[in-house]
Amino acid sequence: MRWIRAHLVAITGLLVLGYLLIPNVVVIVFSFNKPNGNYNYQWQRFSLDAWTNPCGTPGICNSLGLSLRIGFIATLVSTILGTMVAFAIGRHRFRGRASTNLLIFLPMATPEVVMGSSLLTLFIAMGIAPGTVTILIAHILFCLSFVVVTVKARIASLDPRLEQAAADLFATPFQAFVRVTLPLVAPGIAAGALLAFSLSFDDYIITNFNASPSSITFPMYVWGAAQRGTPVQINVIGTVMFLAALVLVASGQLISNRRARAAA
Amino acid sequence: MSGPVVDAAPAASVRPRRARLSYTPYLLLLPGMAWLVVFFVVPMLSLASQSLQTGNVETGYSLTWHFQTYADALSQFWAHFTRSIIFAGSATVLTLLLAYPLAYFIAQKVGRWKNFLLVLVIAPFFTSFLIRTLAWQTILTDNGPVAGLARSTHLTDLLQWVHLTNNDSLMNSRFAVICGLTYNFLPFMILPLYANLERLDHSLIEAAGDLYATPIQTFWKVTWPLSLPGVVGGTLLTFIPAAGDFINSRLLGNTQTVMIGQVIDSEFLRVQDYSTAAALSFVLMLIIVVIVALYVRRAGTEELV
């Protein structure tokens, strides 16, 4: 009893972590299932069918490819624009700061249905046909604010004296920025980019408002599939994405650890 | 917070740099802000305008300042609004209760395992939202172990008694929807709480202990008040997307759990009654802005982002 009381926080914390991870475990386990019929909800028997044939259901790999392409472009554009905005806010004083902050906060405070439907009314009013381009516009929009917030936090945590030291050592402002500031902010930019990619890759609601039948992203494919049966390949792709992200984050951590050790 | 740094350069370089730097922030802001204005502010105005137009998809729309659309839409879908607010509110309270111990644990107790546990918190994000919500169908399914356990412990009776379920199954019920919402937005609560609790000065807690405060007193008088900015940030990041969500209510609920997001989606894309859909969208936005403003004022945090 005393042991439980002493470790109450740890026990609750680990239980919550379990709640958070159970669905991922289910996704991974059921990627090895061989369901009877169209729905992959009940465990039948072990099989590697879906793993040996991940593109086995029509359309799934096309939609995955489209999502990866959109995610890549949306991440690139939103990271560049967002980092610029973050530097402006984090490193400069200017008129209109408060309204700039508000304009960055509002998209994050807007429910996805509202953002998606408002973009749709704009595209309808302007006669722009929905498709890959409108999806990209929407994705860059909702990723932008999250990149700004992530990079801004990193800039705010930097020691301003490092840049001053560079200037004292006769670095030009450009040199100081490229050789001192940018490497220090880089982890923040990387985190922002990772966040942007995962937001873009995962978005269904906003995308659905601005897509056409010829631009089916992976989440839209999953949604469509869920109406008539869920192919096991969905679980395979979910598992691969999960593992790929873990490897990416782990290697990023290794690199920064090694750098820290080299610097020390 | 993030003060000006550039002004503190050595004297010799101050004058030319200042003259040039006055344009720099605006040049840096221009592309990003232009994107936000053109694709966020303008669409909001377009949405407001659409909600006051009359017409249909075939013949086109014209602006007639038809406020009746709002009255009709609200009287027809009021129940969906209140349901969305209640579901999102319950999920927010539950995420706070669940996230706080975990965030505290990671921030204060685990030492060098911190990054590893944080990765585990973020990791679910990388398996698509939809796939994970579909996994809840598997978990809560009628003849699965979870439903069996709930039946043998009479949890199903309790849930039925408080009208969270309609029969002795867990799926397709209010319970399943709130459970899914709680699950899906949990990381949005954990991360701001963690960021806040990580900066918590542990010597304050020790000081409270030295002054004979019980652990519970220490929590309510020291830890909780200091963590309020994280609580506010987390609850907003959870409540707002949860209120507009319809993936959980659609995949885990039934016809009695339809949330407002689902109505907006189908009015726009299936019924194609753009004016009603735009009015509903606009009202949802207004409700959220009002709730957020009231809440932030009460909680007294100036800086949100």
The CATH number assigned to the domain holding B284 equals 1.10.3720.10
Closest CA–CA distance from residue B246 to any residue of chain A (Å): 8
End-to-end CA distance of chain B: 11
ipTM: 0.86
- Gap between the Cα atoms of B291 and B297, Å rounded: 10
- Gap between the Cα atoms of A13 and B258, Å rounded: 32
* Residue B59: DSSP 8-state: T
Range of the domain at B262: 71-299
- Gap between the Cα atoms of A134 and A121, Å rounded: 12
Window 135-164 of A, Cβ < 8 Å to B: 137-138, 140-141, 144-145, 148-149, 152, 155-156, 160, 163-164
The pLDDT value recorded for residue B301 is 52
> Residue A90 belongs to a domain with what CATH number?
1.10.3720.10
Q: Which strand (E) or helix (H) includes residue B182?
A: helix B174-198
Pair B39, B83 in one domain? no
Pair B14, B75 in one domain? no
The pLDDT value recorded for residue A118 is 93
Give the CA distances from residue A77 to residues A140, B78, B198, in Å, rounded to whole numbers and listed in that order: 7, 40, 32
Domain count, chain B: 2
Domain count, chain A: 1
The pLDDT value recorded for residue A147 is 95
Within a domain: residue B56?
A: no
Pair B47, B76 in one domain? no
Pair B39, B150 in one domain? no
| Number of CB atoms found within 10 A of residue B151's CB | 15
Pair B135, B279 in one domain? yes
Pair B101, B186 in one domain? yes
- pLDDT digits 0-9 by tens, A121-148: 999 888 899 999 999 999 999 999 999 9
Pair B132, B194 in one domain? yes
- pLDDT digits 0-9 by tens, B51-72: 888 877 777 777 777 788 888 8
Give the contacts of A168 (CB within 8 A, at least 6 positions apart): B10
Pair B167, B272 in one domain? yes
Residue A137, both tokens: 């516009």
Within a domain: residue B208?
A: yes
Within a domain: residue A225?
A: yes
- Gap between the Cα atoms of B184 and B95, Å rounded: 9
The separation between CA A124 and the C-alpha centre of its own chain, rounded to angstroms, equals 28
Within a domain: residue A53?
A: no
Residue B108, both tokens: 């204060």
Closest CA–CA distance from residue B97 to any residue of chain A (Å): 10
Interface check for A65 against chain B (CB to CB < 8 A): the answer is no
Pair B46, B83 in one domain? no
Pair B110, B216 in one domain? yes
Within a domain: residue B63?
A: no
Range of the domain at A134: 58-230
Are the C-beta atoms of residues B43 and A121 closer than 8 Å to each other?
A: yes
Within a domain: residue B60?
A: no
Within a domain: residue B173?
A: yes
Within a domain: residue B16?
A: yes
Within a domain: residue B58?
A: no
Which pLDDT tens digits describe chain B residue by residue (305 residues)?
Answer: 344 444 444 444 444 444 445 788 888 899 999 999 999 999 999 999 888 888 777 777 777 777 888 888 888 899 999 999 999 999 999 999 999 999 999 988 887 788 888 888 888 877 888 999 999 988 988 888 888 888 888 888 888 888 888 887 888 899 999 999 999 999 989 988 998 898 888 888 888 888 888 888 888 888 898 888 889 889 988 999 999 999 999 999 988 899 999 999 998 888 888 889 999 999 999 998 888 888 877 765 545 54
Pair B176, B295 in one domain? yes
Pair B175, B91 in one domain? yes
